[in-house]
Every structure is written in structure tokens, then in C-alpha cells.
Amino acid sequence: MGDFTYTIWIFILPIAAFLITGLFGSKMPAKVSGWIGTASITVALMLALRTAYQYFIQVGFVEGHRPTVFAYKEVWMNFTETLTFDMGILIDPISVMMLVVVTFISFMVHVYSIGYMKGDKGYYRFFAFLSLFSVSMLGLVVATNIFQMYFFWELVGVSSYLLIGFYYDKPSAVAAAKKAFIVTRFADLGFLIGILLLSYHAGTFDFMTLVSEDGPLLAQSAPPVFMGLSIFGVALSLIFIGGAGKSAMFPLHIWLPDAMEGPTPVSALIHAATMVVAGVYLVARLFPAYHGVDGGVVLNLVAWTGAISSLFAAIIAMTQDDIKRVLAFSTMSQIGYMMLSLGVSGMEGHHGLGYMASMFHLFTHAMFKALLFLGAGSVIHAVHSNLMSDMGGLHKHMKITSWTFLIACLAISGIPIFSGFFSKDEILVAAFEHNKVLWAIEYIVAGITAFYMFRIYFGIFWGKRREYHHTPHESPMVMAIPLMILAALTMVVGWAIPFGNYVMPDRMAYHGHIEWSLAIPSVAIGALGIFVAYIFYFKETSLPEKVSSAFGQSYGWAKDKFYFDEIYQFFAHKMMFAGVAAPIAWFDRHVVDGFMNGVGWMTETFSYLLEGWQSGKVRQYGFSFVAGLLVILFAVLYLNGFIDFKG
């Protein structure tokens, strides 16, 4: 099967880079910490590519299936004789794919950040956190068991928190970081309870045991305990809540738009390409269990959550003015596609198309969405504003950014040749074969996606020519080159990689083909979206205002993100704070603290009574001493029978 032990270096290098730049970064020149971080992730990328080559090409199929290899597996904690918490490296198709995606995007973002973060006072801190994030995400994707995944899951949450709040002197960034952390932590509570339920009833954390056909989940049918779900169904639903929180699925999505307060390369790496797809990865990792337990009821939940999220986010994305927020909602929408695709998938052969499509879309989306964010970062770098209303006519100033952004927009709109077309087409095919309603939702979303992406493309690079304080200029090469590499890959990976050959739920090779009867309509609706955006935004017209005012009140609802922040605020402030936190705080302040203060007050009062005894008069001390001595002497004599007062 080959030796994969070298994969451990993929982790050791970023950890080392994190420790070196984190501990000594302030003492070395800023550039050096950037170079250390970039060098470590470069080697990690090489090793990840080597792993992919060895796993997919050299090892290939063992008895017709892609094998599972444990490169490392060490017992980390013993809970009971049978239940242990292991740390290890699991090599299988999706983990290898994710290794490549994470290290590659991380590498691109590192290189880009060398230019983007130049001159920032937190330069070394930024690279230390990037390394920390990379290693956490890598640990997550290769987890051999669900507990290890949870461990790294929280670590990526922490690094996301640190990087969103990177500009910690900006109150909005601090608030956004807290919001992201608390919302995902809240979702992770479900994840943790799910893990505990699952491990208690199944007796193992191990992924391979959990999803194996003769494992505890799939072999026997457990009786229903809650709303027709068995205990495993409940556990898997809870775990999915954790995944939905991390992947910003409706209704736990509120943190993602605010997370855009972080530096733009961070948004590209964490909040577009890698961390936010952890929820998708989690469901994919446990896919046989989701598919098998309770006849796949939980999988329907996954599918509908994905569908609602993608439609919801796409509608909001049409109305936002901040380009990073448009991209954030677009990310949420695309992750909705991936979730839906997993939700409609089966296990064997052609039925497993949804699973393959989901992973494929994850793969292509990571590239074109990172490209969009890095392109947006390049624009923000030039214009010093996030708002689309401050931009326009930038095409002639920034040729490279404009062309690469266009490629990414075409990809996300599902135009042929570009990668997004291929993955989105597979998703639509899978949805069409499973449930026409889900397909119809995603079909409409495809059109909306094309519209809002080209809305920002035309809005930024064409539209009205604006007066700028100083002429915007193209970003330096260190930022432009990652854009070009990502753009080139976005054009190539869709048709060049036979993804079904590599990643399928049953791990056999599958040779898909493009379903033109479904692909042509979806290309058509994408093109329609682009055309509408062209009419609205290519030249400055009053059309957008007319249309938005025709929608009246509902346009305002979408622009205010359907008031979800306000609803949460209401629940948190009016109900949790006033109803639960305030009484508890009162109890703490008056009863618990009151008891402690009472103890202190008693001691103090009592000691004032005794204070007079310490007079400082030596003769008084002497008298007390002698008197006490005599009392003790007589007491001892009396108790031992030497003195008898009765006579």
C-alpha cells in the first residue's frame, strides 16, 4: 500500500512555523516571519501533492476500491478499556483531496499576504495565525476519529476568531470575532452532545468503525426514541447542527457576513475556501452513516437546509453594497449547494453522484471563491473601500484583477469550460434525479448567482467612471501572480480532472458525462442572469433603482438580511439576558456573594473584639502567660487525680 509516514511533516512544518513566528516574530524583521510561514506551507503543499500522487496514482485501487490508509494512529487518551481517543492521520480519497485544497489555497494566500499585509504592524502575528489555522485545518481533514475532528474543529474556530479580530483596535472587528466564535460555539454544543451520544451508544469514536457496514450504526436498527429518529439519528442530527454552524447554514449563518471584518486574505482562506466547508466535509466523512441510519431521514434535513440556505443567501446577496459581504453570502449560497448535493446522494455507482458532485464543487469552489476574494482584496487595496458605491470603471486601471475576477465570475455562474460549470452541473443532475423541488430551487439560485456576481463585476470594473483621490493602480506582482495561477486553474480543473474516478461514496471509479438536457437550461439561466446584470450595471442607468423600488418593502427586507441579526439580538437580549442571565446575576450578587461577604464580616467583627488583647504591654502579656500556665497546671493535676476539691 505504500508508506505514507512522511505525511506527518505536513503538520510539523506549519506548527514549527507557528511557534517560531509566534514566539520570536517580534524580534526578527517583519519580512522573515512572512518568509518562514510561506516556506513551511510551500513544503507542506509539495508533500500534499506527493501524497495525492502516491494515493491516487501509485496505490490506485485495491480490489476495485480506493483503500483507507492509516499513516499514523496513536492513542492519545484512554477513556475506558474499549473507548480511546486517538490522534492519527487517515488517508482516504476525501482527506487527500482536502489536504491538497487546504495546502494549496493556504499557499496562495500566504504569497498574496506578503504583498497585501506589507507594512502592517501585526505582520508577524498575521503569519503566525495563518500557520496556526493551516495546521488546525489539516488536522481536521485527516482526523481518524470524530473526537480528533472535534479537537481541531475548535482549533480552527479559535484561529478564525483570532484572524477576524486581527484589527483588534477596531470595535466592529472585535464584535465580529466574538459573534463568529459564540455562534459557532453554540452550534458546536450540538456537535459535542452528538459525539457523546454517538460514542456512548456505539462505543467508538473511530470513523471507519462508525461508517462500516457491519459497524454499530448500520448493522442493527435501533428503536426510535425521538420524533421517529433512533438514538443514532438524533446524534447525527446534532452533529449536523455543529456542521451547519461552521458552514454558516441557515439559520446559523449570521456570523459569516460579519466575519468579513478580518483581513481579505483571511476571508479568502478561512471564510471562503477551507474552514466554512468543514461542515460539508463532516457530513461527507460520516456519509454512509447519514445515508444508512433511519433510512436517510437525517440526510433530507441536510438537503433542505442546504437548499434553503442557498436560496436565502442568494436573495440577500443581490441587495448588498459591501463587495465582501456579497461574496460572503455567495459563499453561503454555494455551500448550500454542497450540502444539498450530499443530501440527495445515494451510495452505489450512479446514485453516489451527489456525493461526488458535492466534493467536486467544494474543490472548484475553493479555487474560484479564493480567487474572487483575493481579487476583491486587490480592488480594496487600490480603492481603500469595501463599498461598491465607491468603485466603478476600474477595468482600465487594473487589467489583471479585472480579467481574473471575470474568470471567477464566469466559473461561479456555471458557464462551460470554467470549473464551476462542471461541478454545478453534476449537482443539478443529482438534485433533478432525487427531488424536482430541490432542483427547481437550485436552478433559480443558479440564475440569481450569475446576476449578483456580474452585478459586482460590472459595478466594480465598469459602470460609472469615478473620481478617485489618487489613481488606482494594479497590485504588485506578489499579489497578482496568485490571482493568475488561481484563474488558470479555474479554467482547467473542471474538465481536466475526472473527479468521479477519484472521489465516490463507494470508492469505485465512476465515469460521469455531462447531462446536456439539464446543462443547457442551467447555462441559459446563468447567461440570462449575466445579461440582466449587463443591462442594469454595465452603464450607469436608473434601472436598478426603478426595479428595486418596484419590489417595495421586500427589497428593504432583503437588504437588511431579513432581520436575522435583529431576531437573534431579540432572543439574546430580551429573553436570554433579561429572562435568564439577569436573575442569575442577581442571585450571584446577592445570595452567593452575600454569603461570602457575611463570612468576612463575621470574622472581621469577631477579631475587633479580640484586638484589645494585643496591647503591647509586656506585663499584661506576662500576667496572661502566668495565669494561663497556672490554669493549665491545675487542670492537669485535677484531671490526673492529684488534687481533689471535695477533700
Partner 1 sequence: MIEGITVYDVLAVSTIIFFIGIFGFVTRKNLISLLISTELMLNAVALNFVIFNKFLYPGQIQGYVFSLFLIAVAAAEVALAIAIIISLYRMDNSVDADDMDTLKG
Query: Can you give the binding site for partner 1, defined by CB under 8 A?
Result: 611, 614-619, 621-623, 626
Pick between residue 220 and residue 620 the one whose CB is nearest to partner 1.
620
Pick between residue 225 and residue 643 the one whose CB is nearest to partner 1.
643
Interatomic CA distance for residues 23 and 125, integer angstroms: 9
Shortest reach from residue 191's CB to partner 1, in Å:
59
Residue 166 and residue 126 in contact, taking contact as beta carbons nearer than 8 Å: yes
Residue 438 and residue 307 in contact, taking contact as beta carbons nearer than 8 Å: yes
Shortest reach from residue 627's CB to partner 1, in Å:
9
**Cβ-Cβ contacts under 8 Å for 281 (sequence gap 6 or more):** 94, 98, 140, 141, 362
Interatomic CA distance for residues 449 and 27, integer angstroms: 47
Report residue 145: phi and psi, to 5°: -145, 165
Shortest reach from residue 645's CB to partner 1, in Å:
21
Shortest reach from residue 622's CB to partner 1, in Å:
5
Specify the 3-state DSSP secondary structure of 230.
Answer: strand
Per-residue cell: 418: 470554467
Pick between residue 613 and residue 645 the one whose CB is nearest to partner 1.
613
Shortest reach from residue 612's CB to partner 1, in Å:
10
Pick between residue 563 and residue 606 the one whose CB is nearest to partner 1.
606
Q: What is the largest CA-CA distance in the chain?
A: 124
Shortest reach from residue 599's CB to partner 1, in Å:
22
Pick between residue 29 and residue 628 the one whose CB is nearest to partner 1.
628
Shortest reach from residue 617's CB to partner 1, in Å:
6
616 — alpha (psi -120 to 50), left (phi > 0) or beta?
A: left
Pick between residue 227 and residue 618 the one whose CB is nearest to partner 1.
618
Closest by CA to 37, choosing from 96, 101, 105, 114, is 114
Residue 456 and residue 366 in contact, taking contact as beta carbons nearer than 8 Å: no
Pick between residue 623 and residue 634 the one whose CB is nearest to partner 1.
623
Pick between residue 467 and residue 611 the one whose CB is nearest to partner 1.
611
Residue 406 and residue 454 in contact, taking contact as beta carbons nearer than 8 Å: no
Pick between residue 78 and residue 620 the one whose CB is nearest to partner 1.
620
Shortest reach from residue 637's CB to partner 1, in Å:
14
Closest by CA to 492, choosing from 420, 587, 400, is 420
Interatomic CA distance for residues 45 and 537, integer angstroms: 40
Pick between residue 470 and residue 617 the one whose CB is nearest to partner 1.
617
Pick between residue 583 and residue 622 the one whose CB is nearest to partner 1.
622
Closest by CA to 96, choosing from 55, 126, 135, 62, is 55
- Which sign, positive or negative, has the C-alpha torsion 438, 252, 414, 448? positive
Per-residue cell: 19: 511557534
Provide the CB-side half-sphere exposure for 337 (13 A, CA): 34
Residue holding cell 460521469?
A: 512
Shortest reach from residue 638's CB to partner 1, in Å:
19
Residue 152 and residue 137 in contact, taking contact as beta carbons nearer than 8 Å: yes
Residue 335 and residue 279 in contact, taking contact as beta carbons nearer than 8 Å: yes
Residue holding cell 466534493?
A: 359
Shortest reach from residue 163's CB to partner 1, in Å:
56
Shortest reach from residue 616's CB to partner 1, in Å:
3
Three-class secondary structure assignment of 74-98 = EEEEECCCCCEEEEEEEECHHHHHH
Pick between residue 542 and residue 614 the one whose CB is nearest to partner 1.
614
Shortest reach from residue 177's CB to partner 1, in Å:
52
Three-class secondary structure assignment of 352-368 = HHHHHHHHHHHHHHHHH
